Structure formats: C-alpha cells, structure tokens
Amino acid sequence: MSLCRLIYKSIATAEIVSNETLRSLEDRSSESNSGKKITGLLVLSGNVFLQVLEGSPADVTSLFTSISLDKRHRQVELVSFELTPSRLFDEWGMRLVDLYDLPGEKRALMATKYANEKGEIVVPSDPYLVCAFLLDAKYSCSSAPWKTPLPASRLNEEDQSSPASSEG
C-alpha cells in the first residue's frame, strides 16, 4: 500500500478548545480514522493545532480537504506532504496532546526545546523542526494509560498487503 504523511497547522476557534469538545473530537476522529487506516497525532498549543496524518494518499487528502473546510479551523496551512515507506505515528487513529495539560517534566522538556510566548509553547515554522516537535509530542503522550494504542501488527500487515484505495 502506498502511504503518505501530511502535516498541517491551523488556528482553532474558541468553541473547539474546551476540554470536553476536544475529547469528544478525539474519540470520534480516532474511531473514524481507524476505519480508514489513517493514523496520526493532533497537538494543541494555546489555540494552534498541529496535526500529522498518515495513511493512503486518497484517504489522507480527502480528510485534509474536510478539515480545511471545517469552520472550527482558521488559517489552515499545509506544512508538508510526502510519500513514505512507513508510519512514524502508528499508535493511534488520532491522539490529542494538549501541551498545556502535559505533566510538569514533559511540559518542561518541550518548553526548553521550543520557543515560548506568554506561557505557551510555540509551534515551530521550519518543517524539520515541526517533525521534531511532533515526535517530541508523541513521546510526551506515549505512556498515557487511558489510550489504547492500535495494534502495530494489524496496521503493518494491512499496509503491506492491501492495494491502494481509490475511494475519496
């Protein structure tokens, strides 16, 4: 199966950044994405979303189109899109990390590595730093006991044996 990785950032509208709304979004999106074999991570820093999506190019670009049209986002900006032989964010259909809610030592690690503004960790602009930022956020939430990771063997087997989907 052909895989791609898409990264975008956007400004979240006020109605979506409540904890209840975010958790509901995470649960619904994780279930929907898992059904399409899309994996990824959504990071919130202040009111800035940074998300990585991995899966078939057709499914990922279709999802990104929907996200771009969603009124809960402003200033949606494509950071990168690339074909990739393997996933880096295969643990979840979608996992949300609110940097404000990270435990102290993990938040401190992010704060020492990346710029801060008014107490918020700033999402980098450089595409290479964006990838590092996402991997650091992945590390920061990888031990969260309340989220069950997707079975890697299931994703890997399906990635290697399924033909690319042409559905949109």
Mean pLDDT along residues 5-34? 81
Query: What's the CA gap between 54 and 48, in Å, rounded?
Result: 20
What CATH number has the domain bearing residue 32? 3.30.70.100
Residue 145 placed within a domain: yes
DSSP state of 126: S
pLDDT tens digit sequence for 35-49: 899 999 999 898 899
User: Cα 149 vs. chain centroid, distance in angstroms?
Assistant: 14
pLDDT confidence of residue 34: 81
At 94-151, the pLDDT tens digits run: 888 888 888 888 888 899 999 998 888 999 999 999 999 999 999 887 655 434 444 4
Q: Is residue 162 in a domain?
A: no
Task: Tell me the C-alpha to C-alpha distance, in Å, between residue 60 and each of 12, 33, 126.
Answer: 20, 9, 22
Do the beta carbons of residue 90 and residue 39 sit within 8 Å? Answer: yes
Domain ranges, residue 105: 3-153
In a domain, 121, yes or no: yes
